Structure 1
Amino acid sequence: MSAVSLTQLAGMGLLVAVLALCVVWASGDSNKYRKLVWMTLFLTFDLIMFGAFTRLTDSGLGCPDWPGCYGHSNPLLAHAHISAAQDAMPTGPVTVIKAWIEMTHRYFAMGVGALIIALMAIAWIRRFKSTQREAKLSPWYPTMLLALVCLQGAFGAWTVTQKLQPIIVTTHLLLGLTLLAMLAWLGARQNDHLPVAATAARLASPALIAVILLVIQIALGGWVSTNYAALACNDFPLCHGRLVPEMDFANGFTLWRHLGMTADGEYLPFQALTAIHWTHRSFAFVVIAYVGWLAHKALRIHGLRATGRWLLIAIGLQLLTGLSTIFLDWPLAIAVAHNGGAALLLVLLVMLNFKTRHAPGFQAVPAVPNKPLIVDHLHPHS
């Protein structure tokens, strides 16, 4: 790309970031840094949703080069190249609509990157100006976020240049969700949390296990999506009328191979797609049962009740959207919502992990004569 095109492309990303910064500046929140963290998390969540939309509409190669579109900063300037590709293959990966979808995704990604740079710059400036070092404003955490964004950008480029190779696309998704989780943790550090009961510490290890299980399930879901295996089983609770259908795990879970092909260069057999779908579906019940149990435990602990309720709602909606993709033949809106539900579950579990480890506990206060002290009811709200 020319220097002019790169400048124009950067300008589109900066425009997204500036709009977000204007919202932060105009907000009534006195803690603008905290507001910026949560605004960045919100846009990252939206970016993940739009990334799912890009993937599910098969728009990942809408512009077959990177970072621009046929060397230009937007599809309008590349219209001649896009139209020629579309005329040659009307149902192919390059169309005008798909090009705009792909480039819009890139603009938002650059905007998130610019906001993280802003977070890092503010944190470092405050560190140099302040004589007291607050954990909330440590600059090292946003610096790690910037490093992760750079790695995520590299995988975004490889997603295009490697022609949607499944392992690269899945890794790109997982890195995006890692960024979301880290931003949720940073946001939790900025908030003032209600005290939690001492029994909350008992859920620290179970909450961490829940995150691990969810990440495995998200990786399996990403593998389903990137291999286009969502409709490999179109009945439920059975698959092709059987509890355990005929499957090819060896080819289905060979990581380094081209899209739709085996490692030997043959076409991927349908039994491999069935294995991918069936594994994701089966493991979902493990995650639902475990997260449901964890949410039930959280409902019984002061300070965690709201998070527990949201977890139950999110896991219920996730089950509903997952089943709907099967019975309704994979409608796009529900498929995108299913991806968003996984991201929401991750944010909620990160918040639960933070509260079980770092939220303040109940403080003992002197008892008033003739008034028994009931500590667990000092802060009845969750």
Structure 2
Amino acid sequence: MRILLQITLIFTLIVILMGAYTRLSDAGLGCPDWPGCYGQLKVPSAQDEIRQAQAAYPLLTIEQDKAWLEMIHRYIAGTLGLMVFAIWVYCLRTPNTPKRLASFIAGLIVFQAALGMWTVTLKLMPIIVMAHLVGGFSLLALLLLLYLRAHPSQIETENHAQIAKLQPFAIVCLGVLIVQIILGGWTSSNYAALSCTTLPLCEGEWQSNLDFKQAFNPFQGQHDTFEFGVLDYAARMTIHVSHRIWALVTLVMLGTLAWRLFKSSQTQQYKRASIYLSGALFIQFCLGISNIVFHLPLGIAVAHNGMAALLLLTLVYLNFLIWHQAKYARLPYKSQTVEN
């Protein structure tokens, strides 16, 4: 179970990175149908296969490189689905395992498959693309939580009330990071990553062009395709600026959490976790700046997505540690109450 969960976590991270690479390479519609590609289980390559595909989709140009990116992403995601179902079956058949959490994760992977289908059939509708991205991050976080709940003996405990007091703040920080991930997904799905190309916020009189109503409206009308975005510059700029401002909020909040945890802790496990959070936060900040300075190079943009996933994992892990510590710190008080 431990090895399977570890491999599944790695596979989930690979799927997230591959999804980001596919999206940023403009290959999200490399295959116009689902789950196959131009009506076939693989990308058409032979001449007769290409002729059949072209006859079925006469208005489209078959771009094999983009189609292969999309299909490889689907193959890996399908393998991940099988692994998640294996974990679910194991938990159902094994006593003292988190069955409800495993069942929820199994349901989530089914919903993720549906979102993947709708991403293609609804032609990259931003709300669907963003939901698909958030679903992948949610799957990664819940798999880590399942791993931690299945192996709680790996958690060190120390009877230190200062760490227990950090629990509400750590939960708020997790919420702040989730909002930032959602904003990042909305920025990417609306092709707003290059709407501002200067620092610290945006060029020109950006304050007078803010349009929050249009920028965050999930319903953007009927379009033949949403590829390359349908919003005007003001809306995209608003999305981009919102993502940058919330990034600063995230930096301050998570940095404060890492510092407070490092100062309060007496065990190496908690100190290491706070150092990991600080390091991931610093790298993510540098990647965000690099995306702006170098105008969204593919490698840095994909790494930005991957580091966001690692930040989420780190914060889920920290919240679990702090929750475990808070539970441990309350035990003496409860025992004393019972004795009195």
The two structures have a TM-score, normalised by structure 2, of: 0.87
Where is the helix percentage greater, Structure 1 or Structure 2?
2
The answer to whether the 8 A contact 1:321-1:334 is kept is yes
1:60-209 matched pairs, under 5 angstroms: 60-76=28-44, 78-80=49-51, 94-127=62-95, 134=96, 137-191=97-151, 192-198=154-160, 199-209=162-172
The structure number with the bigger radius of gyration is 1
1:89–1:72 Cα change, 3 Å: closer
**5+ residue gaps in structure 2?**
332-340
Amino acid at match of 2:260: K
Match of 1:54 among 8, 16, 22: 22
Q: Residue in 2 aligned with 1:306? A: 272
Alpha-carbon RMSD across the aligned residues, in angstroms, is 2.5
Q: What amino acid maps onto 1:177 in structure 2?
A: F
Give the aligned partner of residue 339 of structure 1. Answer: 305
Distance 1:344 1:245, change over 3 A: farther
The 1-side partners of 2:316 and 2:215 are apart by 31
1:355 equivalent to 2:321? Answer yes
Of structures 1 and 2, the one scoring higher in RCO (CA 8 A, sep 6+) is: 2
2:75 partner letter: Y
- How far has the Cα of 1:244 moved from its partner? 2.9
1:216 to 1:85, Cα distance in 2 relative to 1, 3 A? farther
SS of residue in 1 equivalent to 2:258: helix
Q: Shift in Å at residue 222 of structure 1?
A: 0.6
Tell me the residue number matched to 1:37: 5
- Asked whether the equivalents of residues 51 and 105 of structure 1 are also in contact (C-alpha less than 8 Å), the reply is yes
Gaps of 5+ in 1: 1-32, 128-133, 365-382
- Displacement after TM superposition at 1:149 (Å): 0.5
Work out the number of aligned pairs and report it. 317
User: What is the match of residue 249 of structure 1?
Assistant: 212
Structure 1 position 247, deviation (Å) = 2.2
Q: What is the deviation of 1:80? A: 3.9
Q: CA deviation at 1:268?
A: 2.6
Q: Please say if residues 37 and 43 of structure 2, whose CA atoms lie closer than 8 Å, have aligned partners that are also in contact.
A: yes
Q: By how many angstroms is 1:35 displaced? A: 1.3
- Relative to structure 1, the CA distance from residue 284 to residue 245 in structure 2 (aligned partners, 3 Å threshold; closer, same or farther) is farther
Q: Shift of the alpha carbon at 1:258?
A: 5.2
Tell me: CA distance 1:210–1:40, structure 2 relative to 1, closer, same or farther (3 Å): same
Partner letter of residue 353 of structure 1? N
- Cα deviation digits, residues 315-337 of structure 1 (max 9, x gap): 10111000101100110000000
Contact 1:167 1:255 in 2 (8 A): yes
Determine if contact 1:227/1:260 at 8 Å carries over to the other structure.
no
The percent identity for this pair of structures is 38
Of 270, 280, 284, 2:243 maps to 280
Matches within 5 A, 1:309-328: 309-328=275-294
Note the alpha carbon deviations across 1:93-150, whole angstroms, 9 max, x for none: x5101110001111111111100111111122223xxxxxx2xx23222111110101
CA contact (8 A) 1:79 1:96 kept: no
The CA distance in 1 between the partners of 2:308 and 2:163, in whole Å, is 24
Cα shift readout 1:299-325 (whole Å, capped 9, x = no counterpart):
121341111001000110111000101
| Deviations 1:47-94, CA, capped at 9 Å, x for gaps | 11111111111111111111111221110465445678999766xxx5
Partners of 1:177 and 1:259 in 2: CA distance: 28
Distance 2:167 2:50 in 1: 54
